[in-house]
Amino acid sequence: MKNSLKRGLGSRHLSMISIGGVIGVGMFLGSGETVRLGGPGVVISYLIGGAVMMIVMLALAEMSVAYPVPGSFRVYASQYLGPFFGFVTGWVYWLSWIGIMAAEIVAATVYMEYWFPGAPNWVFGALFATLMTVTNLMSVRSFGEFEFWFSMVKVLAIVGFILVGIAAIVGLGARFGVPRIGLSNYLGRGGLFPNGPQGAFLAMVMVMLAYGGTEVIGIAAAETRDPERNIPLAMRGVLLRTLILYVGSVAVLVGVIPWTEAGLTGSPFVRVFSLMGLRGSATLMNVVVITAALSSMNSGLYTSSRMLHSLSLQGMAPVRFSLVDARTGVPSPAVLASTASLYLGVAAYYLSPHGAFLFIAGVSAFGFFFSWIVIVLSHLRFRSVVEATEPERLRFKAPGYPYASMLAAVFIGAVTISLWFIPGQREGLLAGLAVLGAVSAWYWVSRIVRGAAPRFSLRPAEALRLSLYFGFDSAPEDERGAGRDREGT
């Protein structure tokens, strides 16, 4: 085995990998709940959340084009905010995806009961986990192809939903006996924001959670052919497709189904397809939901294994996870370790469905918010350092610097803090903070007692370098060589 990954992904793979990470089961089954919280005005919430997502992803694209390294934003955090931030970002993000994968595989097994009532769920869970593991072990290209076609199923389902919903709104469903719905559901029953500012803000929290996963494209940058061309191309495509899919589907949803009924009668997708007299809509949606779950799990296994591989490269995880299969170019030990952790998450769900769900969902949500804040803060420091030391690296620049990144950091921070004041979300915030505290303690203990740390060797280095981040000093010598160090990582 060796340590270098292969570049086997193209721009089409990158786009679908990111969509695969964003659009999971919740998109098809849980979107109605967000509408019920925010009312018809939730469309505006999705637009605002999409704008913040765009700022974060463009900042990540700038850094990924300059340095397409394994670990992506975790490496940038380590370099520009300090090793502490790189350590906690990597491990919290890894744990977030373990939780997401566990949730998705549980959902897939539950929906298999539609065809196999009474069959033991764990059998399907084991089969799905094995299938995803084998796919990720074959080669990065096999993973990319698998994810491309699985994500395509989700995209086609959403596009179909949008078209059918528009037909019902404008009256093209008359031949099926469906009367024209018109615009009554948008402004009736209390207007755009019937639950007031509190409901709109609560919906905004859920919207931001829905967009979590788009940063996967940065993780895949290290295995992308011609990153200078393909990363910006794929990033723009992801932003456009995600906004169209999310905003478009929600806009149709609130037009077809009264917001007071959304989230109360099962999947809104099934309801809209059934409304137009499409037979077998429940069976079709079952296929789509299972596909969405497997696609999200596939993206999660890829992302978590690459993050674990990156942590190992910098001595922040056992050295074995840095090894890459010379034949396939895949970090096989990291893939297998992430799969093993997935089984633990699934076991926790079955042993304590309610308690495990709250904890794992909270850690996952917190992990995404924390990672996005780290991305924009790293970008603020990154641009100033690279412009002064290696300006030729800046072949792609995110617009609006530095104000856009500052605004995104403040907004995401406010949303994260607001979880404390939202019923049902406080437990999730506490779970995320608990994991962050545990990982932080692990970092400091490992530094203080290096010899006692089990086969770990954190790079001796530097303090947090917050003085550098806030501009109290010029870039030190180790940052002037940052590009060479990262490329050799």
| Predicted local confidence at residue 469, as pLDDT | 35
Separation of alpha carbons 267 and 277, rounded Å: 16
Helix (H, G, I), strand (E, B) or coil at 130: helix
CA–CA distance, 140 with 181 (Å, rounded to integer): 47
Rounded Cα distance between 77 and 67, Å, is: 13
* Range list of β-strands (E), 75-124: none
CB 242 within 8 A of CB 46: no
Residue 257, amino acid: I
| pLDDT tens digit sequence for 40-92 | 888 888 889 889 998 999 999 999 989 888 888 999 999 999 999 999 999 99
297, 128 Cβ separation under 8 angstroms: yes
Domain boundaries, the chain: 11-456
Residue 58 CB coordination number (10 Å) = 23
- pLDDT per residue over 283-318, tens digit each? 887 888 888 888 888 888 888 999 999 999 888 888
Task: Report the pLDDT value the prediction gives residue 485, as an integer from 0 to 100.
Answer: 39
Separation between Cα atoms, residue 143 and residue 271, nearest integer Å:
33
Note the pLDDT of residue 336: 93
Q: Are 325 and 3 in contact (CB under 8 A)?
A: no
Per-residue model confidence (pLDDT) at position 354: 67
Q: Are 17 and 237 in contact (CB under 8 A)?
A: no
- For 30: left if phi > 0, alpha if psi spans -120 to 50, otherwise beta; the answer is alpha
For residues 309 and 144, is the Cβ–Cβ distance under 8 A? no
- What are the tokens at 479? 């940052």
Mention every residue, 6+ apart, whose C-beta is less than 8 A from residue 210.
22, 26, 27, 31, 34, 46, 49, 246
Question: 267, 81 in Cβ contact below 8 A?
Answer: no
Q: CA-to-CA distance for 34 and 149, rounded, in angstroms?
A: 28
Tell me what pLDDT residue 373 has.
95
Structure token pair of residue 320: 């074995």
Q: 9 has which bridge partners? A: 224
Collapsing DSSP to helix, strand or coil, 224 comes out as strand
Residue range 469-488, pLDDT digits in tens: 333 333 333 333 344 334 33
Tokens found for residue 214: 């788009």
For the full predicted model, state whether its pTM sits above 0.85.
Answer: no
Task: Provide the terminal-to-terminal Cα distance of the chain, rounded to the nearest Å.
Answer: 16
CATH number of 11-456: 1.20.1740.10
CA dist., res. 303 & res. 316, Å (int): 17
- Chain position carrying tokens 């296929």: 287
Q: Which amino acid is at 169?
A: I
Q: What is the mean pLDDT of each run of 10 residues along the chain (489 residues)?
A: 60 66 67 79 88 92 88 91 92 90 82 83 84 86 80 85 85 68 79 80 79 81 74 74 81 85 67 70 80 85 90 88 87 91 77 70 84 95 92 91 95 87 77 92 81 42 36 34 39
pLDDT, residue 483, reads 41
Of how many residues is the chain composed? 489
Model pLDDT, residue 381: 93
Tokens for 101, please give them: 């994968």
